Structure 1
Amino acid sequence: MANRRQFLAGLLASGLAPVPTWADAGSPAYLSAARLPDESYVLTGLDRQGAERFRIPLPARGHAAAAHPTQPVAVAFARRPGRFALVLDCRDGAVLARLDSPEGRHFYGHGSFDASGQYLFTTENDYDVGQGRIGVWDVAAGYTRIGEFASGGVGPHDMKLLPQGGFVVANGGIDTHPDSGRLKLNLPTMRPNLAYLSEDGDLLDMVEPPHHHASTRHLAVRADGLVAVGMQWQGDVARSPALVGLHRRGEPLRLLGDAAALEGYVGSIAFSGNGTQVAITSPRGGTLEVFDAGTGALVQRLAEQDVCGVVAAKDGLLATTGLGRVIHADSSTRLLQTVQLAYDNHLIEIAPQG
């Protein structure tokens, strides 16, 4: 006898059942991995006020997630250098598929669906040759891997789709290997970059930060294609240069601010809802900084212990901390929620429906 899930799948295939949407999972606006007080791990869905809409157990610590653009489905990625990711039904927590990195590969904790939700793209390391790859997975075929292409560098951590088509990839420049855990294997020779790739994976453009120890890690993309990048310093923290940059293809990388309050570490980056500001967090520095995206000027610096996740909100920004705090930031910070969770590095926005 077919089980309930097979029965529903048959109804969907026949067109007799409505296609589920994010409303069926409580209409969350954001996703975040988190740690519970008992040291277990979950993926949470939050609404625009930071209130929890669902909580799904994870087998190990998560990093970032990818949200399907229309269906209540999330892909939870293991922390670098992870070898698996889980495809989760956010209505009931069912595991729809498990993605295992191919032989000789590991994941970097990030990925993204295309706008149609037909394909999933994952950042990966080919650790036998020390080169980055972008894996391609077919959603309709049960998340079958159908190909890969070069990321344009070493250590592709984050990647985003561009509004004009193609991808931008933050190749952090750091080679890693699963057998060495999180050990960084090539710091003296690392070469981070931002790589712009076509939809077919061809390298269209590339820019490197001024210093090779400024590892490009996290990305935000504005509606007009402006790219914001947050970096992490791999040298003496006291000598860290600016770790926030804005970039357009064909132009130099424009650095913002300084690294005095960041302890060499940018954890997340996001544009504000109207795109006029860009915000970065440093959990090590306990600070959230907001810059004017036009002038590059520092607009504000807000102290918040262990802050890391940050995302655009309707009026300003939403941020989460490792102390379970959800805050709204504009000219000041306003506490929205406090929960018994340690939120992990990233808040991932779910595409608005309707």
Structure 2
Amino acid sequence: MTATDRGRRAFLGGLLAAGAVPRITWADAGAPAFLSAAARPDGNYVLCGIGEDLKIRFERPLPARGHAAAAHPVRPEAVAFARRPGTFAVVLDCATGDQKAKLTAPAGRHFYGHGAFSQDGRLLFTTENNFEAGRGCIGVWETSPGYRRIAEWDSGGVGPHDIRRLPDSDTLVVANGGIDTHPDTGRTKLNIPTMAPNLAYIEDGEVVETAALPARLHKNSIRHLDLDAHGTVAFGMQWQGSGPVDVLVGTHTRGSAPKLMTADPGVLRDMDGYIGSIAFSGNGKQIAVTSPRGGVLQLYEVETSALAQVVAFEDVCGVATVGGRFVATSGTGQVRSLGRTQAKTAEVVGLAWDNHLVRL
């Protein structure tokens, strides 16, 4: 525990001792702008809060490698998820460092590394694999008291990975990657010839809309999502075919067909068929995507659906937006801010960032 953490604990403890019941906010956790899992050189794993200035606000221990996190909309609380096919998720009080709860996937299920809260923070939704049935499911957890599982919904497809809540609603959008796996065979992909990825929209447990790719792209696994302020979905894909692919990025608006982004085939080859993370710019006019395999970050213009910029960035994966600029993280420990007129890079010695940068 750092001196800053001890100070926060003492301050909060003093308020409680005095009979005050403060409303604890993310400011009490150092006002981070982002969350990211990371690996330490000693082999341990942590969840970190990162400020807009790219400095570390806190580190909280994890029991194993993390993938992504879900930030509670009201209090400084985060759920850190294990990497697929992990079966744990831990609930952390980011202000004090306490572990508030631990979620365990039920028998026959494992997590996919992502989750989303309801608008009021009363419910948590987790993407999971019902691996005996070969179907995706959404776990529904009541957050108080103690994160109790209360329901399970069909995800609308196979291999659900990322999940987001549409702005100002409790409608969920799920990236069903289409890939069937089973813990007995690790991360082996069992159904590549018959893959059928989609986006599924879920309201109160019912799949109310799905959007699929053209048949020629059925091996393009839809994996990661972001949303603009109006609910347009940006999605990044991971190609499972044997030859080259001509698209890895798309957008979708409910009631329409997916809109696919174009790029030169040679530039797409640099991504090695793999999008690791995706993010809208703050004004919704650009989309950033990353490829740790290719060591590349790409920027697409939403209006033209065309590639606008390519940035070399070794082992880049996490990306999010804040204050009119993108921020990206890499497995080498870099945190880089990218704007139209400015760029800044911070080197975080001793941390290797994992896949995702989660905007608070």
Partner of 1:104: 108
Partner residue of 1:176 out of 149, 159, 181: 181
Partner of 2:3: none
Paired residues for 1:337-348 under 5 Å: 337-340=346-349, 341-348=351-358
Partner of 2:307: 298
Kindly indicate whether residue 204 of structure 2 is the aligned counterpart of residue 194 of structure 1: no
For residue 222 of structure 1, report the CA deviation from its aligned partner.
0.8
Partner of 1:156: 160
The 8 Å contact of residues 246 and 262 in structure 2, kept in 1 or not, is answered as no
Relative to structure 1, the CA distance from residue 93 to residue 180 in structure 2 (aligned partners, 3 Å threshold; closer, same or farther) is: farther
For residue 28 of structure 1, report the CA deviation from its aligned partner.
0.6
Partner of 1:257: 262
The 8 Å contact of residues 46 and 59 in structure 2, kept in 1 or not, is answered as yes
For residue 333 of structure 1, report the CA deviation from its aligned partner.
6.8
Paired residues for 1:301-340 under 5 Å: 301-331=310-340, 334-340=343-349
Partner of 1:183, secondary structure, is coil
1:87-128 Cα distance to aligned partner (Å, 9 max, x none): 011123211100000111110000011121111110011111
Partner of 1:141: 145
Q: Distance in 2 between matches of 1:157 and 1:333?
A: 33
For residue 164 of structure 1, report the CA deviation from its aligned partner.
5.4
The 8 Å contact of residues 85 and 99 in structure 1, kept in 2 or not, is answered as yes
1:135-180 Cα distance to aligned partner (Å, 9 max, x none): 1111112100010111100000001111253111100011112222
Q: Distance in 1 between matches of 2:227 and 2:283?
A: 12
Partner of 1:179, secondary structure, is helix
The 8 Å contact of residues 83 and 106 in structure 1, kept in 2 or not, is answered as yes
> TM-score normalized by structure 2?
0.90
Partner residue of 2:234 out of 228, 234, 239: 228
Partner of 1:82, secondary structure, is coil
Q: Distance in 1 between matches of 2:122 and 2:32?
A: 21
The 8 Å contact of residues 127 and 176 in structure 1, kept in 2 or not, is answered as yes
For residue 234 of structure 1, report the CA deviation from its aligned partner.
0.9
Moved over 3 A (4+): none
Structure 2 stretches lacking a partner, 5+ long? 1-8
The 8 Å contact of residues 175 and 186 in structure 1, kept in 2 or not, is answered as yes
Kindly indicate whether residue 98 of structure 2 is the aligned counterpart of residue 94 of structure 1: yes
Partner of 1:208: 212
Partner of 1:239, secondary structure, is coil
Q: Distance in 1 between matches of 2:344 and 2:168?
A: 37
In the alignment, residue 191 of structure 2 is paired with which amino acid?
A: N
For residue 332 of structure 1, report the CA deviation from its aligned partner.
6.9
Q: Distance in 2 between matches of 1:16 and 1:315?
A: 38
Partner of 1:123: 127
Q: Distance in 2 between matches of 1:89 and 1:160?
A: 22
Kindly indicate whether residue 63 of structure 2 is the aligned counterpart of residue 66 of structure 1: no
Across the aligned residues of Structure 1 and Structure 2, the Cα RMSD in angstroms comes to: 1.8
> TM-score normalized by structure 1?
0.92
Percentage identity across paired residues of the two chains = 55
The 8 Å contact of residues 207 and 253 in structure 1, kept in 2 or not, is answered as yes
For residue 315 of structure 1, report the CA deviation from its aligned partner.
2.3
Q: Distance in 2 between matches of 1:18 and 1:164?
A: 26
Q: Distance in 1 between matches of 2:93 and 2:33?
A: 16
The 8 Å contact of residues 291 and 300 in structure 1, kept in 2 or not, is answered as yes
Q: Distance in 2 between matches of 1:273 and 1:232?
A: 25
Q: How many residue pairs are counted as aligned between the two chains?
A: 339
The 8 Å contact of residues 85 and 100 in structure 1, kept in 2 or not, is answered as yes
